[in-house]
Structure 1
Amino acid sequence: MTSYLYELPTTGAISFGDFLYDKSASYISEISDTTEARANLRAALKESKRTDEKDFLRLVKVLDDYIPKLCGIIAAVNAGEVVVKAEPIFSWRTTLSDTLFHSSPRLSVPSLAAELAFTLLTYAFALSNMARAVVASLGAYEFERGISDAERKVKDERLGFAVTLLCKAAGIFEYIAKEVIADWDAAREKAVAAGMQCPNPPDLSREVLIGLSKTALADAQNLAVRKLLTRAAFDSTVTPGPPLPKSHPSPALAAKLHLECAALYSSARALVKNPGASRPAVSPQSSKSKFRLGIGKDKSSSGGAQESSADEVVPELRRYLADEVLLHQALAHKWLGVDAGENTQQGAGTAVGFLDWARKDLDELRGGASGVHIGVATDRERDMREARKVRVQVEAESVGVFYKGYKRMNDSMSFQPVPPQADLQASIPAGRMAVTIRPYTRPVPAFGPGSPDYVQQYAEALDALALEDQSEDQTATPSPPPLPPAAAATTSRAPVGNYAGAGSYF
């Protein structure tokens, strides 16, 4: 397994010039450029939807071009340099809303805040999918017999690049939840107060966004564990089972990393299961109990402020998280058992206990008991299930080899009792992180307040004003200072002669 594969949204066409008024005529070309950049984004998303070969790198570049321009529009509006003539309505097709036929509902959402939130959400989806594509291009290189150390190093670096992409995606999800959703909530309250229809999809729920951030971070941690074990993977394949090859890193460290993965996935699953816990009650209808038929829409029709989107997250994401929790718990139990068998004199019994626990977890995962696998699976979910099935089979074979080896050792040499599962549970350590989230910083606006050109023009204007003041000071004739009274009286008298004693009066 690599990471979760997100369905990318699509969006409708819009022209920023239709709802923005540039009173100073300073942003005419910039507004037009922003409309063009958004049209490019719409075209890229539609193309990605139609084709099987996804070019996520191109989509990321298109988003990198559009987001600074969108930030420029927002900055100009906030500064009052551009006026919003009418509330803009943006059309986005959500991808996380649970519907009966797995069709992505198209929603009309007001405000620039909603546009920024959906754009950044798409950006994070694209980065996560690009990381998955990078990993898929590597294949199972750690098990290739003819690979050289130089080739392995190059592919390890590519694997590290995928980890970086996922950490960036985690930072974007977190940024939307902490910085953008507050503006969206305020805009939504304003729209509802004006009697407008204003959906509140789970895609724009703080809980779901934080859950997605944890999911991306857990996916990155999962790849980091793989990168840690690539050097020893081939040696372990040649000589499977105990004892571990010398190239193998600490099994206790591997166990702690998997435990942290399981904790992150578990936390993410809990968050996405209840996406509406922190949503503001902006309409009377939102506090009423609702009967959902599973088609992703509320059946109430009393007023324009009704909820028009599904309240639940797609089950395939929830099943993915549930399966990943069980998988990484099994892998943690595996490495805890190996650590006990490798590093303690009398740990064979404990090793057998942990490895038997891991076998049961993997058998449960193969049987599909970790989640409620009901309903129609999408092609994406079937692909992810197949990839997980392959990994579970490989891990089950590895666990079986270690289990037989340590059980044979315990039955013939150590004769240690196998601890019950409750005692094993009490000895499980805390998890450990191998990656960190990469906080997202909103890019500098391409134009308007805060942009480099705007700051430079402001600085040049200040310099010109300072030079003008200095020039005025140099050219102006200063008035003579007032004379003292005695000197003033002297200068008012008649001229004094040159004779001896002139000017002296006795």
Structure 2
Amino acid sequence: MPYPFPLPTTSSFSFSSCFNCDSHPSLPLNASTQRAVVRETLKKHKRLPPSSQPANLSSVVSSLTGYLPYLFAVDAGLSHRAVHGDEINVVLKTAPAIEWRPTISDSLVPGKEPPRIKVQSLEYEVFFALSALANTYTLQARAALHPLYVTSTAPVGTQQRQAAVTTATRNLLDAAAIYDYLRSRSETLVTSPPCPDISPAAVSAKCSLALAEATLLAVLKDDPYPAVVAQDRNENDTEWMYRAPDIPRVRAHLFARLCLAASEHAAKAYSLCAGRPAGGKINENFTHYLDDLRRTSRAKACRFFGIDSELGGQTGTAIAWLHAGLQELGIERKESSKKTGGFGRLKKEWTEKREDRKVEKGSNWGADAGKLEETRVLEMLETKWTKQNDTMLTQVIPPVGPLLAQIPSGREIHTIKPFQPPLLEAATLEAMRAPPDRSDEPGAYGSSDEETLTEGTPVGAFPGTQGEYRTATPSYY
């Protein structure tokens, strides 16, 4: 958690080949220059090993935020909108042909990346660029939370934990604002999207997903149990004794309502993606994550209702709430018992160790939406409270069904601030009234995914004789 979005890659593109700007002749050139930076940054990021990618996310954000003001300036010129009171006159010469590789679209061949999609509208260029930025914000949230789950080093302190959660929450809310802007912008489209990534259903689902994850982080910030479970597996932990986690009763009930709100957002996202959105089918890994997040959020809510009951002296009801949480996760009670042996226990231990290795390597960890972590917490509390109830209280454990029937509605904690499209500074826009000093024709590489050079005319060659020239090594520009 959050979802490990892959970042897209894109082909090269020359704005001057498709657009003229009489009022600001240098705008197409500058837009092409900034887009080339984005293309190279995305290409570099994709080729980095997974452990090195988090450190490169700031470069991706910087390149995208540098490109977006120029892209929105061209878009404003096509729509006859003023920027800083300055009219921009952009004329479309020919339809653009830009290639982007989707990130959550289903691949035609299992195990392969989805094929590149040709975008023939500047509107969908805006969608892909903003989606890439929102995905990067989500990945930055993952990078901020990663130290909380590492068990090979000393556990982080309370202040570092809260700072990490605050940073991740801010990034997720920024991503949600972008997706919400794309959702509202998609309502004015008259053409069908070229792929599910930028379909109205997908951007709405991503917005709900980001809001659900940000809501869960509001709970994680003051939830001590995941840290206790991780601490128990950490060999570098020097604390051999700790005080039992104490959560005030009112806050436990509040946390349960927040988890239910997150579950409602995840359920909405899942319903949007479970069908077949416009443009094709969404990758099953993404839809499974949404369903796991819905289940995990409801299981967390059951746990906090159990904590609320246990603090009130109703240990039997508290244990029933834990059983309800395991049921929401789709886990049978016999699997959580210590009596489970043989292949079942071996499989469980192997799954947990595999997830821990993913966390250590920093690759694709948390792809189960925190389902394994919540299972560990529920099993820890069930063992503790069952022993307490069997030896001291001997309260009757009620059935799960009536408890689930009385679950209240969720409670919201975050509001999405409207996303404001970035605008060029007035001085920068005024400077582009000068004619361009060079051409912005694309280089030899057709796509950021390709390594091979396209054949071009050698410098100084007579037209039509490029086949007679050979170079020992290609030139890079």
TM-score, structure 1 as length reference: 0.68
Deviation, 1:49, is: 1.1
Partner of 2:181: 175
Partner of 2:25: 28
Deviation, 1:139, is: 4.5
Partner of 1:265: 266
Partner of 1:403: 382
Does 1 or 2 have the higher relative contact order (CA < 8 Å, sep 6+)? Answer: 2
Deviation, 1:7, is: 1.2
Contact 1:241 1:401 in 2 (8 A): no
Mapping 1:414-425, distance limit 5 Å: 414-425=393-404
Q: For 2:103 and 2:416, how far apart are their aligned partners in 1? A: 24
2:208 is the alignment partner of 1:214 = yes
2:325 is the alignment partner of 1:358 = yes
Contact 1:20 1:83 in 2 (8 A): yes
2:107 is the alignment partner of 1:95 = no
Secondary structure at the counterpart of residue 28 of structure 1: coil
2:144 is the alignment partner of 1:134 = yes
AA paired with 1:260? A
AA paired with 2:283? V
Deviation, 1:453, is: 5.2
Secondary structure at the counterpart of residue 83 of structure 1: strand
Contact 1:240 1:398 in 2 (8 A): no
2:167 is the alignment partner of 1:161 = yes
Deviation, 1:208, is: 1.2
Contact 2:296 2:369 in 1 (8 A): no
Deviation, 1:380, is: 9.6
Q: For 1:248 and 1:351, how far apart are their aligned partners in 2? A: 13
Contact 1:229 1:248 in 2 (8 A): no
Deviation, 1:223, is: 2.2
Identical residues among aligned pairs (%): 26
Deviation, 1:93, is: 1.2
Secondary structure at the counterpart of residue 223 of structure 2: helix
Q: For 2:121 and 2:217, how far apart are their aligned partners in 1? A: 38
Worse-matched range after superposition: 411-420 or 429-438: 411-420
Deviation, 1:400, is: 3.0
The verdict on how the C-alpha distance between 1:16 and 1:380 changes in structure 2, with shifts beyond 3 A counting, is farther
Q: For 2:204 and 2:105, how far apart are their aligned partners in 1? A: 16
The unaligned stretches of length 5 or more in structure 1 are: 190-198, 280-308, 368-378, 455-506
Partner of 1:111: 121
Deviation, 1:48, is: 1.0
The verdict on how the C-alpha distance between 1:386 and 1:45 changes in structure 2, with shifts beyond 3 A counting, is closer
Secondary structure at the counterpart of residue 168 of structure 2: helix
Q: For 2:309 and 2:241, how far apart are their aligned partners in 1? A: 17
Deviation, 1:275, is: 4.5
1:429 to 404, 408, 411: 408
AA paired with 1:264? H
State which structure, 1 or 2, has the greater radius of gyration over its C-alpha atoms.
Answer: 1
Question: After superposition, what is the alpha-carbon deviation per residue over 1:439-466, rounded to whole angstroms, capped at 9, x for unaligned?
Answer: 2111224569xx9859xxxxxxxxxxxx
AA paired with 1:78? S
Worse-matched range after superposition: 113-122 or 84-93: 84-93
AA paired with 1:59? V
Secondary structure at the counterpart of residue 61 of structure 1: helix
Question: After superposition, what is the alpha-carbon deviation per residue over 1:184-209, rounded to whole angstroms, capped at 9, x for unaligned?
Answer: x33x37xxxxxxxxx63111211111
Deviation, 1:77, is: 2.4
Secondary structure at the counterpart of residue 74 of structure 2: helix
Q: For 1:158 and 1:113, how far apart are their aligned partners in 2? A: 35
The verdict on how the C-alpha distance between 1:397 and 1:65 changes in structure 2, with shifts beyond 3 A counting, is closer
Contact 1:173 1:212 in 2 (8 A): yes
Partner of 1:37: 34
TM-score, structure 2 as length reference: 0.72
Question: After superposition, what is the alpha-carbon deviation per residue over 1:93-139, rounded to whole angstroms, capped at 9, x for unaligned?
Answer: 11121123342221112121111111111111111111111222455
Q: For 1:243 and 1:342, how far apart are their aligned partners in 2? A: 13
Deviation, 1:422, is: 1.9
Q: Report the aligned-residue RMSD.
A: 3.6
The verdict on how the C-alpha distance between 1:203 and 1:246 changes in structure 2, with shifts beyond 3 A counting, is closer
Q: For 2:249 and 2:178, how far apart are their aligned partners in 1? A: 35
